[in-house]
A and B are shown apart, each in its own frame.
Chain A
Amino acid sequence: MLRFILKRVGFAILTLFLIITLTFFLISAAPGDPIASKVGQMPEQAQELIRARYGLDKPVGERYLIYMGNLLHGDFGESITYTGKQVNDIIAVNAPISAKIGIMALFFQIVLGILLGMVAGMNRGKVGDHVIRVCVVLAICIPSFVFAALLQYFIGFKWHLAPIFGWGSWKNYILPVTAYALGGIASYTKYMRSSTISVYGEDYIVTAKAKGCTKNQVLRKHVFRNSLIPIVTMTGPAIAGIFAGSFVLEQMFSIPGLGAYYMKSVTNSDYTVILGLTAFFAMMYVASLILVDIVYGFVDPRIRVAKTGKR
């Protein structure tokens, strides 16, 4: 197991290196100038001074080496747009805000998704199942920002039940978390439903029932655990998504997460911020994949056995 983890971590580092390198050169090759927003339409000679101030007068190769050198020390560099702001600080201050929304949403997604999915699966073909299925299709098809706009309009604007923008009070979580969670709840419900149905058809369930297990026991011991595999697969990447999944919503609700910085950095070609955030998201993603592999082992002993067997 340890060897397996070490190997995965090794690959992860290589992946990150490739992502950062590729991103760096892609940004350099892409049109757009990081200081454009700063210099506006200054005379060229004056622009050169500013360019030199931010080290942009150096050739791409040299800038890459400097950047990678700093990165080895864990330094993502300084934002060009936001003068004097360190990318590390941007991540440290704003990532937790994005994460709070993401984690809350993920929590509701998993809990409600599993619950609704099992209810639907066990009541296959009945009214409850149909109602849930219709809602699921709707919730999957409608993008979260449409939900957000509807929630803002009705709950916030018309009925004054929650603030439509801002940050600081617990009330500010209500609308964005709801908007973010809805689509996910639907997806989890869908997967949980089909896996519940398929597990229900397995022979071992018949055996368990024949042995005299109560409906409750069957559900807890057999159906629930065996249906979890697809949920774990989905949750892994969703963990990475908790930092980045709510960008649009952050914009709409004026939440000071990473979203505002990421969007602005891309439009302004603020490459230190783009790189820093991209590397950060990539790290989260790779880490969550490793995590999923480990969790698989706990949920499904067969996978653990198969993997050790190979080695």
Chain B
Amino acid sequence: MKKQIKMAASWFMASAMAMTMLAGCGSSGSTTTTAAGAETTAAAGTETTAGAETTASAGAVTTAAGAETTAAAGAVTTAAGAETTAASGTVSADELADPEDQIFRYSKGSDATGLNPIICTTAPDNEVFEKICEGLYRDVTNEKGESAQEPGAAESCDISDDGLTYTFHIRPDAVWSDGEPVTANDFEYTFKLMADPESGATAGWLYDGTIVNFNEAMYQTDGVKPDDIGVKALDDKTLEIQLVHPCSYFLELVSTAWPVRQDVYEKYGQSYGASVDQIVTNGGFRLTKWEPNVEMTYEKSENYWNADNVHLQTIECKIITDTATRAQAIISGDIDYLGTNEEEWVGVLSQTPGLTSFVSDGNNPEFFSFNCSNKYFKNWKVRLAFSLAIDREKFNTDLNDGTAEVMYGLMPACTQVGDKLYTEAVSEDTQIIKTLSAQYPDPKALLQEGLEEEGLDTDPSRMEVHLATRGTNEFSKRISEWMLQDWQENLGVTITIDSMEWNVMWDRVDSGDYDIATAGWGPYFNDPYGLLSIYDPENGYFNSSKTGWDDEDSQKYHDLLEQSIDETDMTKRAELLFQAENILVGKGVIAPTYTATSNNFLSDKVGGYYVNPNSATDYNRIYIKKQ
């Protein structure tokens, strides 16, 4: 019904534009491409570009991947598989092409929404800031292809024994693009701006519940002002941040806190970042030209503290929406890098001489979310039966050409606890669903058991269950039809598919108006807590008012998460988080399916291209090879 309204609305608008027969032809065509263009993202994964651009901060994205592989949660663990040398960042001079040839060109599907890092935090925005701005620490790729935190604008950081006080020492040689030194006050100002409810900051909430008084200042409780938050410049070069809980991923969090400087920010006010002249930046590159929806040009910043180790002189980013056009552009040599999952082009590009292809892992799991207030799904056995009935390997083969990471738990392989991989930190097998499948080999029997417990008709064929899709594109359709068939074969349940746009689906989730939702999530930081906290029944995105999950399991889940926050021993913390995951997945609140991988194509002349599991590309290391 709602969809029809939206259809009606779009038709109305189309007719308001009112074109002639021929222009009308263009218009109806354009409606189609909106769908295609906007939601494609295509193939291996995701249903929404919009999703990809959505979201805030750490490059984490709901739905991501696809179109914005570079920027979005496309993420990579294996780092640029192509490059094994020089992971540490040093390249000998004779490998480098001449400085005037150090030009790297690539393309993105969407333009940035603006250059104000406080309020522009969608994936295309972050993709710009990671070149032109530098946080206290930098999120980079280490030799193993994992995410690691390296000093950025701060040269070092002292962490107190209780893990609650972080003291950052700002580099003496860190300067802004206009030559002014970067000071601790700049970061203090930036954090206070993010805590100010008036500023419209879209990344502030990441520190809510982490930095002292941040929550209170944002929501104006107890008369707390942004000035009262636990961020203080002790002197020009020393910044102290007080935390509420020890937070093992805090350095990663602050890596996307791109600083602004008070005098400039106040000078431009609302229009800060509206154009390249209305910003000051402190990163390795400067944005010198921005033609909206056409191109962005970056030049190396000569006064950057580490300029000697930055090789590229120029970066050109061309905005090309259409995948076919982008693919042709890389084949003709107009661009040097492309990330795409569109099957038709992956095949062609893999065969193209002069291009190196590599697959990068994702950090954003896809899953089905059950509405636990539904008469069937309030019983965990029913939910789990639906989860166990999914033939995940076949799903991957049929729908993702076998390229995605198959998920038997919620955590993608790249998930870390402290500096260890989650799978290694947890003593048990993290493939929860495999363990459960052995325990309940017949999902249909489990389903009927659950139905009986609820006093419902035990004939699965009479169940009435709706599956909400996330998007209306081809891939969404294929997923839902595949599920229809799978659940029919393995459970005898015939579901009804409700096809809807991605934002409509999230609206439905918000109002609790769904049975099964096709969800996905990109965590904002690489820690199991980043994914598990979304189902916190009290304050997660999928809180109990949306999921209807409010039994004693949910209480236990909440308690485990609370305990994990204060735990400083990483092994114990991993165990607590695993117990929580075991409830979430084991009681079938969600049914993880896969994590999409991305196909990347890089010109052979480019070296040092690394992407880390949090999706950030380290442009400081990229170079053009000597021919």
A84 to B115: give the CA distance in the assembly, Å.
Answer: 10
Say yes or no: is B34 at the interface (Cβ < 8 Å to chain A).
yes
Say yes or no: is B322 at the interface (Cβ < 8 Å to chain A).
yes
Query: Which residue in B33, B198, B202 is a CB contact (below 8 Å) of A42?
Result: B202
Indicate with 1 or 0, residue by residue over B11-22, a CB within 8 angstroms of chain A CB atoms.
011001111111
Indicate with 1 or 0, residue by residue over A133-170, a CB within 8 angstroms of chain B CB atoms.
00000000001110001001100110010001111100
Say yes or no: is B25 at the interface (Cβ < 8 Å to chain A).
yes
Query: Which residue in B23, B208, B293, B318 is a CB contact (below 8 Å) of A241?
Result: B23
Contacting pair B120 A30 (CB below 8 A): no
Chain B residues lying within 8 Å of A153, measured Cβ to Cβ, are 328
Interface stretch (choices A197-205, A221-229, A263-271, A294-302): A263-271
Chain B residues lying within 8 Å of A214, measured Cβ to Cβ, are none
B105-124 interface with A by 8 A CB criterion: 110-111, 113-114, 116, 119-122
Contacting pair A32 B503 (CB below 8 A): yes
Chain B residues lying within 8 Å of A31, measured Cβ to Cβ, are 2-3, 5-6, 501, 503-504, 507
Contacting pair B325 A252 (CB below 8 A): yes
B191 to chain A, nearest CB (A): 16
Tell me what chain A mostly uses at the interface: helix, strand, loop, or mixed: helix
Say yes or no: is B365 at the interface (Cβ < 8 Å to chain A).
no
A127 to B540: give the CA distance in the assembly, Å.
Answer: 73
Chain B residues lying within 8 Å of A240, measured Cβ to Cβ, are 17-19, 23
A282 to B197: give the CA distance in the assembly, Å.
Answer: 38
Query: Which residue in B22, B25, B200, B291 is a CB contact (below 8 Å) of A49?
Result: B200
A52 to B25: give the CA distance in the assembly, Å.
Answer: 40
Once A38-B202, A248-B29 are accepted as A-B contacts, the answer to whether A32 and B19 lie under 8 Å apart by CB is no
Indicate with 1 or 0, residue by residue over A44-77, a CB within 8 angstroms of chain B CB atoms.
0110011011100000000000000000000000
Say yes or no: is B8 at the interface (Cβ < 8 Å to chain A).
yes
Chain B residues lying within 8 Å of A166, measured Cβ to Cβ, are 294-295, 318
Which B residue's beta carbon lies closest to that of A180?
A: B26
Query: Which residue in B19, B119, B295, B322 is a CB contact (below 8 Å) of A251?
Result: B322
Chain B residues lying within 8 Å of A144, measured Cβ to Cβ, are 25-26, 29
Once A39-B56, A165-B318 are accepted as A-B contacts, the answer to whether A83 and B507 lie under 8 Å apart by CB is no
A152 to B294: give the CA distance in the assembly, Å.
Answer: 18
Say yes or no: is A10 at the interface (Cβ < 8 Å to chain B).
no
B65 to chain A, nearest CB (A): 15
A301 to B442: give the CA distance in the assembly, Å.
Answer: 84
Which A residue's beta carbon lies closest to that of B39?
A: A267
Once A26-B9, A82-B114, A240-B19 are accepted as A-B contacts, the answer to whether A264 and B38 lie under 8 Å apart by CB is yes
Once A32-B507, A260-B293, A263-B38 are accepted as A-B contacts, the answer to whether A245 and B55 lie under 8 Å apart by CB is no
Chain B residues lying within 8 Å of A52, measured Cβ to Cβ, are 197
Contacting pair A40 B55 (CB below 8 A): yes
Say yes or no: is B465 at the interface (Cβ < 8 Å to chain A).
no
Say yes or no: is A237 at the interface (Cβ < 8 Å to chain B).
yes
B93-137 interface with A by 8 A CB criterion: 110-111, 113-114, 116, 119-122
Say yes or no: is A232 at the interface (Cβ < 8 Å to chain B).
no
Contacting pair B12 A22 (CB below 8 A): yes
Residues of A in contact, count (CB < 8 Å): 78
Say yes or no: is A122 at the interface (Cβ < 8 Å to chain B).
no
Interface stretch (choices B146-154, B269-277, B577-585, B594-602): B269-277
Contacting pair A269 B503 (CB below 8 A): yes
Contacting pair B120 A83 (CB below 8 A): yes
Contacting pair B6 A247 (CB below 8 A): no
A234 to B218: give the CA distance in the assembly, Å.
Answer: 57
A103 to B559: give the CA distance in the assembly, Å.
Answer: 65
Chain A residues lying within 8 Å of B62, measured Cβ to Cβ, are 40-41
Contacting pair B122 A38 (CB below 8 A): yes
Contacting pair A49 B197 (CB below 8 A): yes
A167 to B295: give the CA distance in the assembly, Å.
Answer: 9
Indicate with 1 or 0, residue by residue over A180-224, a CB within 8 angstroms of chain B CB atoms.
100110010000000000000000000000000000000000000
Query: Which residue in A43, A83, A241 is a CB contact (below 8 Å) of B205?
Result: A43
Contacting pair B293 A245 (CB below 8 A): no
Contacting pair A245 B22 (CB below 8 A): yes
A241 to B17: give the CA distance in the assembly, Å.
Answer: 8
A143 to B23: give the CA distance in the assembly, Å.
Answer: 11
Chain A residues lying within 8 Å of B294, measured Cβ to Cβ, are 166-168, 254, 256
Say yes or no: is B219 at the interface (Cβ < 8 Å to chain A).
yes
Contacting pair A183 B22 (CB below 8 A): yes
Query: Which residue in A33, A157, A285 is a CB contact (below 8 Å) of B507?
Result: A33
Once A36-B503, A40-B55, A53-B200 are accepted as A-B contacts, the answer to whether A254 and B321 lie under 8 Å apart by CB is yes
Contacting pair A251 B33 (CB below 8 A): yes
B281-305 interface with A by 8 A CB criterion: 291-295
Once A23-B16, A50-B202, A247-B26 are accepted as A-B contacts, the answer to whether A40 and B33 lie under 8 Å apart by CB is no
Chain B residues lying within 8 Å of A123, measured Cβ to Cβ, are none
A255 to chain B, nearest CB (A): 8
Indicate with 1 or 0, residue by residue over B28-45, a CB within 8 angstroms of chain A CB atoms.
011011100111000000
Interface size band for B: 35 or more
Say yes or no: is B384 at the interface (Cβ < 8 Å to chain A).
no
Chain A residues lying within 8 Å of B20, measured Cβ to Cβ, are 234, 237-238, 241
Once A43-B208, A49-B218, A247-B27 are accepted as A-B contacts, the answer to whether A253 and B325 lie under 8 Å apart by CB is yes
Say yes or no: is A272 at the interface (Cβ < 8 Å to chain B).
no
A167 to B26: give the CA distance in the assembly, Å.
Answer: 21
A183 to B501: give the CA distance in the assembly, Å.
Answer: 32
Say yes or no: is B506 at the interface (Cβ < 8 Å to chain A).
yes
A101 to chain B, nearest CB (A): 11
A256 to B290: give the CA distance in the assembly, Å.
Answer: 12
Contacting pair B200 A50 (CB below 8 A): yes
A196 to chain B, nearest CB (A): 20
Chain A residues lying within 8 Å of B204, measured Cβ to Cβ, are 46
Chain B residues lying within 8 Å of A244, measured Cβ to Cβ, are 17, 19, 23, 26-27
Say yes or no: is A281 at the interface (Cβ < 8 Å to chain B).
yes
Which A residue's beta carbon lies closest to that of B21?
A: A187
Contacting pair A37 B38 (CB below 8 A): no
Say yes or no: is B53 at the interface (Cβ < 8 Å to chain A).
yes
Chain A residues lying within 8 Å of B389, measured Cβ to Cβ, are none
Contacting pair A157 B331 (CB below 8 A): yes
B196-233 interface with A by 8 A CB criterion: 197-200, 202, 204-205, 208, 218-219
A182 to chain B, nearest CB (A): 10
Contacting pair B33 A165 (CB below 8 A): no
A110 to B5: give the CA distance in the assembly, Å.
Answer: 38
Chain A residues lying within 8 Å of B2, measured Cβ to Cβ, are 30-31
* Residues of B bordering A, CB below 8 Å: 2-3, 5-6, 8-10, 12-13, 16-23, 25-27, 29-30, 32-34, 37-39, 50, 53-56, 60-62, 110-111, 113-114, 116, 119-122, 197-200, 202, 204-205, 208, 218-219, 270-274, 291-295, 318-322, 324-325, 328-329, 331-332, 334, 501, 503-504, 506-507, 521, 534, 539-541
**Interface CB pairs A-B, < 8 A, 25:** A31-B3, A31-B503, A40-B122, A41-B55, A41-B534, A49-B197, A50-B200, A53-B200, A85-B114, A144-B26, A145-B33, A167-B294, A168-B291, A184-B22, A244-B26, A245-B19, A246-B26, A247-B26, A247-B33, A251-B30, A252-B321, A256-B291, A263-B38, A266-B10, A274-B13
* Residues of A bordering B, CB below 8 Å: 19, 22-23, 26-27, 29-33, 36-43, 45-46, 49-50, 52-54, 81-85, 93, 143-145, 149, 152-153, 156-157, 160, 164-168, 180, 183-184, 187, 234, 237-238, 240-241, 244-249, 251-254, 256, 259-260, 263-264, 266-269, 274, 278, 281-282, 285
List 10 other contacts, CB 8 Å, given A31-B6, A40-B55, A251-B33. A31-B504, A33-B503, A38-B122, A39-B54, A83-B116, A83-B120, A183-B22, A241-B19, A247-B29, A263-B30
Task: List the 10 shortest-distance A-B pairs measured between CB atoms, nearest first.
Answer: A40-B55, A241-B23, A53-B200, A247-B30, A46-B205, A256-B293, A245-B23, A237-B20, A267-B38, A26-B9
